[in-house]
Structure formats: structure tokens, C-alpha cells
């Protein structure tokens, strides 16, 4: 197990399963390491504060998490390297990506539009890749099969998992390379506050 914090933690969440826990303060006494839990809370923003931040970066927020539209398509076809969306509707088609300029293949990526609400406001966010798979409790390939058959992915049971629960979420704000209005708020990690000790 490796101890990560800050930017290295953010990178690890993209490719590995990450366990986030409270920070420990460690002191030594007569050669023995003594540790105690750091009592400090994770600094969070309200949704209203989050909306007013224009700077790309990573931000913690507490609130209710809901699936924005149960009839949405929970995947998209994109570049196998940089995940940029394409107009293709099939997987494994070779092409040159206009964003990363690499020879790639079309790949199905999971995506879900969600809403975070607190006492100040509501904001739309995107959950991608392993976060979407965790929320929908299935794999990207299974989502792709269901939506490609024209079927609606059943989320009623999943919605109840989020009912009246407060979550601590780590969000990443990003901007489109060519257009500032293409900014996105991505859910990088989320934790149920009823059963989770904040980092």
C-alpha cells in the first residue's frame, strides 16, 4: 500500500482503486511510533461557491447526488487515447484523433450526468469511467450493449441508493482547449458521509 496525497492522489484515482482515509499524525516516544487521527475536517466548498470559481482545479464539496435524467444515454464513443467524443456509433474503428493527433480506435466510454445539490444551489456534473461504472453497478461494455440495443438502462433501484444521503465529493474543474465555455466539472471520487470518515 502506498500513501498518497495532493496531486499524486488525483492521478492515482484515474488508474487504480484508491482507499482514502483520515490523515494520521505520527510522533515517536522512546523509539516507538505513536499515531493519532488528525481531527481536521476536509475543507469543502458550497455549490454556490463552486459555481463562482473559474480556475481549473480540484475541489471538495458536500451535498446530495442525483442522476439528472434517468433516460440519458450512459455512454459515448470516443478516442481510445484521450477520450475525446467522436461522431462514430461503433467501437474499434481506426481513425486519427483530431484532439490528440494519434492513430487510435473508437472506444465506448461510460458517462453519466448528475446533479449535486446543497442548501445554496444545484450544479450539473459529469461522472466518467470507473465512477460511472461504480454508480451504475456495471461495466462500460455492458452499458454500451444495452444502449446500443435501444433499451433504457434501468436506474430506479440505483436511484434509491442515493436517496437522502449526503456525499463528500472530489470534483475536477476543467476547460476545453479551444473554448472557455466548454468547461466541465468531473466527479473524481465520492463517499457516503454516513459510513465514511473524511480524509
Q: Which of 10-14, 60-64, 89-93, 186-190 has the highest mean pLDDT?
A: 60-64
pLDDT in tens, 52-72: 887 888 999 999 988 878 778
The predicted structure's pLDDT at residue 2? 58
Per-residue pLDDT at 174: 81
Res 28 pLDDT > 80: no
Judged against a pLDDT cut of 90, whether residue 25 lies above it is answered with no
Q: Using the predicted structure, report yes or no on whether residue 31 has a pLDDT greater than 50.
A: yes
Rounded Cα gap, residues 107 and 96, in angstroms: 13
Residue 189 has pLDDT above 80, yes or no: yes
* Cα 52 from chain centroid (whole Å): 20
The phi-psi region of residue 164 (left if phi > 0; otherwise alpha if psi is between -120 and 50; otherwise beta) is left
Which letter does DSSP use for residue 179 in this model? -
Interval 37-56 mean pLDDT: 79
Evaluate if residue 199 carries a pLDDT over 50: no
Under 8 Å between Cβ of 110 and 140: yes
- Pair 171, 49: CB distance under 8 Å: no
Q: 75 near 96, Cβ under 8 Å?
A: no
Confidence bin at 95 (pLDDT 50/70/90): very high
- Per-residue pLDDT tens for 136-160? 887 777 777 777 776 666 776 677 7
pTM: 0.67
Which of 24, 20, 22 is CA-nearest to residue 9? 20
Does the structure show a pLDDT above 80 at 113?
yes
Domains of the chain by residue range: 42-192
CATH number of 42-192: 2.40.50.140
Say what the pLDDT of residue 4 is. Answer: 55
| The pLDDT value given to residue 41 | 65
pLDDT given for residue 119 in this prediction: 95
Would you say residue 29 has pLDDT above 80?
Answer: no
pLDDT of residue 141: 75
Residue 178 pLDDT: 47
Amino acid at each position: 500500500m502506498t500513501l498518497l496525497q495532493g496531486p499524486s492522489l488525483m492521478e492515482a484515482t484515474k488508474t487504480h482503486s484508491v482507499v482514502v482515509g483520515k490523515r494520521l499524525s505520527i510522533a515517536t516516544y522512546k523509539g516507538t511510533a505513536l499515531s493519532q487521527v488528525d481531527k481536521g475536517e476536509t475543507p469543502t466548498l458550497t455549490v454556490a461557491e463552486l459555481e463562482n470559481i473559474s480556475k481549473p482545479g480540484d475541489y471538495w464539496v458536500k451535498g446530495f447526488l442525483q442522476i439528472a435524467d434517468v433516460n440519458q444515454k450512459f455512454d459515448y464513443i470516443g478516442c481510445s487515447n484521450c477520450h475525446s467524443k467522436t461522431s462514430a456509433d461503433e467501437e474499434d474503428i481506426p481513425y486519427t484523433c483530431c484532439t490528440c493527433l494519434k492513430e487510435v480506435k473508437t472506444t465506448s466510454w461510460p458517462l453519466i450526468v448528475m446533479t449535486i445539490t446543497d442548501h445554496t444551489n444545484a450544479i450539473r456534473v459529469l461522472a466518467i469511467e470507473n465512477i460511472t461504472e461504480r454508480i451504475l453497478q456495471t461495466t462500460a461494455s455492458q452499458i454500451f450493449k444495452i444502449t446500443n440495443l435501444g433499451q433504457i438502462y434501468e436506474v430506479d433501484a440505483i436511484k434509491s441508493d442515493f436517496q437522502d444521503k449526503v456525499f463528500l465529493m472530489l470534483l475536477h474543474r476543467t476547460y476545453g482547449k479551444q473554448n472557455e465555455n466548454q468547461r466541465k466539472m468531473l466527479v473524481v471520487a465520492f463517499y457516503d458521509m454516513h459510513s465514511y470518515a473524511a480524509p
